[in-house]
Structure formats: structure tokens, C-alpha cells
Amino acid sequence: MKPPPFDYVAPPSLDEAVAVLADEDQDSKVLAGGQSLIPLLSLRLAYPDVLVDLGRIDGLGSIEHADDTVVIGAMATQHEAETSHLLHELCPLVPEALANVAHPQIRSRGTVGGSVAHGDPAAELPAVVVALDATVRAVGPNGTRTIAARDLYSGMMTTTLREDEVLTSVEIPTVREGSGSACVEVARRAGDYAMAGAVAQVTVEKGTFADTRLVLFSVSDTPARIDAVERALTGAEAKPEVIARATAAAAEDLDLLADPRVSQDYARHLAEVVARRALTTALERSA
Ligand SMILES: Cc1cc2nc3c(=O)[nH]c(=O)nc-3n(C[C@H](O)[C@H](O)[C@H](O)COP(=O)(O)OP(=O)(O)OC[C@H]3O[C@@H](n4cnc5c(N)ncnc54)[C@H](O)[C@@H]3O)c2cc1C
């Protein structure tokens, strides 16, 4: 199908982009890599009057180390983040998760900010930013604000970003000593969206879990932080069998999204498997 008619602007500055977005006489939408938005338009699931392309605005594509975070500009492509030495060294969960996103062609156009702002519950990056307690920066007509990733996802593909705001960067805390992380997913074919996925990060001190993060994706309408597992593990002996007990117990209580492709029992089984594997691999890597 063809997209509905729309106007297109590519302003050279953030202020001008925000001014177009804030114009109440037209319904406008930010265009980043276009890898989700253009298919949505072609399927006639969105009807914006204007697309505001961020591609000509300088300074939105950098990846930089700042204090105890790595700051990824919204327009950095997923490929740039996946191959960033800085991220491999300081936030290895980000490139690991990105390697599971779609195919190289899509990652070479799709952006980090686009994936985080789109908020697809089956996507890897939203789960990563929630798991790592990242923050995002957004610029709108009233200036800049910082949003904790845990407050960003409010429902199915819905975020707390306002329609006249541009997400400008994502700040990822750098990994602590004694920490390990992993992203594990099950998909029908390499490059497909996951049927179930998990990202985990653990920090081990003196043989016990000092800090545990577990977020499941593709199982509910937002990235799902699994507090029950995090609570059960934190302070417990850092052993695979302890992980297995905690993930099995938590799987019973998961509130799963109805998916016509899989039975609830199978979805629950997959969620348990990816959670256990992600935490176990994170534990092995923490050594
Ligand atoms: C065949 C296919 C397979 C895919 N598989 C996966 C997958 O397995 N995992 C996965 O995570 N993704 C997958 N994707 C999606 C891909 O990762 C997209 O690149 C990503 O979801 C959106 O990034 P984008 O830069 O292309 O954003 P766009 O498509 O340009 O925008 C997406 C949405 O976010 C908004 N937006 C974008 N940037 C900003 C910003 N800076 N500030 C405010 N709002 C913004 C837009 O207005 C739009 O609503 C797939 C895509 C395709 C086509």
C-alpha cells in the first residue's frame, strides 16, 4: 500500500523542528530512520499532515562517555551503536541487544532514539533502557526535560513523550565492576521480532547477588521489569540453581499479552526460559 499524502520538512535546527511539532494547526510526526514510521504510514495506521525529518540537525548522532554514563545521540544509528567501542567496553548490553534487532540493512537506517521513542514492546532497546535505569532527554517548546526510562513506557507503543517533544539523547549508566549482562531471545527466524526475550544484568559481591535487573520483552504491552525475580535474587547466593528457582516461581504470576500465534502455556514457558538463560549468562559474565 501507499502512504497517505503528507508534507515533509527537514529543518536545520532543533528549535525549528520543535516549532513545527508545536504548531497546533497540523498533526506532525518526527521522522528519524523511518524503519517503523514508514511501514506504519504505508499500512495506513498513521495519518500525519507533516513529517519532521531530524536528519539535517547537527549534533544528534554522537556517542560519548560522560562521567558514569554513555550518552547516545538520538540519531545515532543502531549500527553505529552496535559497533561502538565505547558501548562494547562500558555498556555491553546495548550492542549485544542491538545485534538481535532486525537485519543489518534496517539497523543501518534505524536510530537508537527512534527505537526508544517508538516503544514497541517487542523491541530490544526499550527493554535495555528500562533494565539499566537509563534516562532520556527530550526537548520541547518549554525547554529540556529528563525522563527516567522506567517512566517512559505507559502502554502499548505509548510513551510519556509529548507530541511536540524531540527525544535528543539516551544516557546509559556504565557497567559496574563485578557485573555481567546478557540479552537472550527466541524468534522464529534470525532477524524476526522475538516471541519472547529477556535482558538481564547482575552484580555479584562476595558470592551473592548485590544487584539484579531483569526485563522481559515481547510478553506484555510494555517492557516488563520482573520485580519478583529481582527481589528474590538480590542478597541471595549467586548460583544458577537459585536463578532457576526464582524464574520458575515468577513465571507462574506473569501477566502475558494474548498472542494468537502461541498458547499461554507456551508463552509462559518461553518467558521462563529466556529469563533463566539471560540471568545465568549474566552471572557467568560477572566473574
Ligand atoms: C522488517 C523489520 C524488522 C524489524 N525488526 C525489529 C526487531 O527485531 N527489533 C526491534 O527493536 N526493531 C525492529 N524493527 C524496527 C526498527 O528497529 C526501527 O528502526 C525502530 O523501531 C525505529 O527507529 P527509526 O529510527 O527507524 O524511527 P522512525 O521509524 O523514524 O520513527 C518511529 C517512531 O518514533 C518516533 N520518533 C523517532 N525518533 C524520535 C525522536 N528522536 N524523538 C521523538 N520521537 C521520535 C517517530 O515519530 C515514530 O513515531 C524492525 C523494522 C523492520 C522494518
3-state secondary structure 19-73: HHHHCCCCCEEEECCCCCHHHHHHCCCCCCCEEEECCCCCCCCCEEEECCEEEEE
Residues 190 and 242 grouped into a single domain: yes
CATH of the domain at 84: 3.30.465.10
Mutate to test the pocket of ligand 1, among 80, 115, 168, 218 (most ligand atoms within 8 A of CB): 115
Give φ, ψ of 201 to 5 degrees: -140, 130
CA distances from 140 to 49, 114, 146, 160, 242 (A): 19, 16, 11, 13, 46
Query: Which of 148, 173, 198 is the endpoint of a domain?
Result: 173
Nearest CA owner, ligand 1 atom 50: 102
Nearest CA owner, ligand 1 atom 38: 114
**What is the Cβ-side half-sphere exposure of residue 172, based on CA atoms within 13 angstroms?**
32
Domain span at 247: 179-285
Q: What's residue 257's pLDDT?
A: 86
Cβ-proximal residues to 84 (8 Å cutoff; 6+ apart), any chain: 63, 95
Q: Which of these, 167, 181, 173, lies nearest to 282 by C-alpha position?
A: 181
Q: Is 232 in the pocket of ligand 1 (CB under 6 A)?
A: no
CA of 33 to the centre of ligand 1 (A): 7
Residues 218 and 131 grouped into a single domain: no
Q: Is 93 in the pocket of ligand 1 (CB under 6 A)?
A: no
Residues 122 and 77 grouped into a single domain: yes
Q: Is 113 in the pocket of ligand 1 (CB under 6 A)?
A: yes
Q: What's residue 260's pLDDT?
A: 80
**Low-confidence spans in the chain with pLDDT less than 50:** none
CATH of the domain at 47: 3.30.43.10
The burial of 21, by beta-carbon neighbours within 10 Å (0-12 exposed, 13-18 middle, 19 or more buried), is given as buried
Q: What's residue 70's pLDDT?
A: 98
The gap from C-alpha 91 to its chain's centroid, in whole angstroms, comes to: 14
In a domain, 80, yes or no: yes
Nearest CA owner, ligand 1 atom 39: 114
The region, left, alpha or beta by phi > 0 then psi within -120 to 50, assigned to residue 245 is alpha
Mutate to test the pocket of ligand 1, among 14, 45, 49, 118 (most ligand atoms within 8 A of CB): 118
The atom number, within ligand 1, closest to the CA of 111 reads 25
Q: What's residue 258's pLDDT?
A: 83
Q: What's residue 262's pLDDT?
A: 84
Q: Is 110 in the pocket of ligand 1 (CB under 6 A)?
A: yes
CA of 36 to the centre of ligand 1 (A): 4
Q: Is 104 in the pocket of ligand 1 (CB under 6 A)?
A: no
Nearest CA owner, ligand 1 atom 10: 123
Residues 150 and 200 grouped into a single domain: no
In a domain, 237, yes or no: yes
Residues 161 and 196 grouped into a single domain: no
What is the biggest distance separating any 2 CA atoms in the chain, rounded to whole angstroms? 61
